[in-house]
Amino acid sequence: DAGITQSPRHKVTETGTPVTLRCHQTENHRYMYWYRQDPGHGLRLIHYSYGVKDTDKGEVSDGYSVSRSKTEDFLLTLESATSSQTSVYFCAISEAGGVSEQYFGPGTRLTVT
Amino acid sequence: LAKTTQPISMDSYEGQEVNITCSHNNIATNDYITWYQQFPSQGPRFIIQGYKTKVTNEVASLFIPADRKSSTLSLPRVSLSDTAVYYCLVGDDSSNTGKLIFGQGTTLQVKP
Report DSSP state, residue B5. B
B93 in contact with chain A, both atoms CB, cutoff 8 A: yes
Which residues contact residue B26 at a Cβ distance below 8 angstroms, ignoring those fewer than 6 apart?
A: B2, B3
* Chain A residues closer than 8 Å to B92 by CB: 98-99
Please calculate the CA angle A101-A91-A7 and round it to the nearest 5 degrees. 145
Banded model confidence at residue A108, pLDDT cuts 50, 70, 90: very high
Amino acid A112 reads V
Percent of chain B with pLDDT over 90: 72
Question: Torsion angle of alpha carbons A42, A61, B89, B40, nearest 10°?
Answer: -30
Q: What is the pLDDT of residue B99?
A: 64
Most confident of A56-60, A97-101, A108-112: A108-112
Residues of A with CB under 8 A from a CB of B: 31, 33, 35, 40-45, 48, 50, 56, 58-59, 90, 92, 94, 96-107
Q: What is the pLDDT of residue B74?
A: 98
- The C-alpha of A38 sits at a distance from chain B's nearest C-alpha, in angstroms, of 10
| Low-confidence winner among A16-25, B20-29, B95-104 (lowest mean pLDDT) | B95-104
Percent of chain B with pLDDT over 70: 91
* Chain B residues closer than 8 Å to A35 by CB: 102
Banded model confidence at residue A13, pLDDT cuts 50, 70, 90: very high
Q: Mind giving me the DSSP string for B58-98?
A: SS-EEEE-TT-SEEEEEESS--GGG-EEEEEEEEETT-SS-
* Chain B residues closer than 8 Å to A99 by CB: 32, 34, 49, 89, 91-93, 95, 98, 100
Cβ contact, residue pair A96, B98, below 8 Å = yes
Q: Give how far Cα A6 sits from Cα of A11, B9, B23, B105, B106, Å.
A: 12, 30, 34, 24, 26
pLDDT of residue B92 exceeding 80, the answer is: no
B29 in contact with chain A, both atoms CB, cutoff 8 A: no
- B5-41 burial, b at 16+ Cβ within 10 Å, e below that, comes to ebeeebebeeeeebebbbebeebeeebbbbbbbbeee
Banded model confidence at residue B96, pLDDT cuts 50, 70, 90: low
Q: What is the pLDDT of residue A87?
A: 97
- The C-alpha of A26 sits at a distance from chain B's nearest C-alpha, in angstroms, of 17
- CB hemisphere CA count around A61 (13 angstroms): 11
Q: What is the pLDDT of residue A59?
A: 84
pLDDT of residue B57 exceeding 90, the answer is: yes
Q: What is the pLDDT of residue B97?
A: 55
Amino acid A45 reads L
Whole-angstrom Cα distance, residue B109 to residue B74?
A: 15
Banded model confidence at residue A69, pLDDT cuts 50, 70, 90: very high
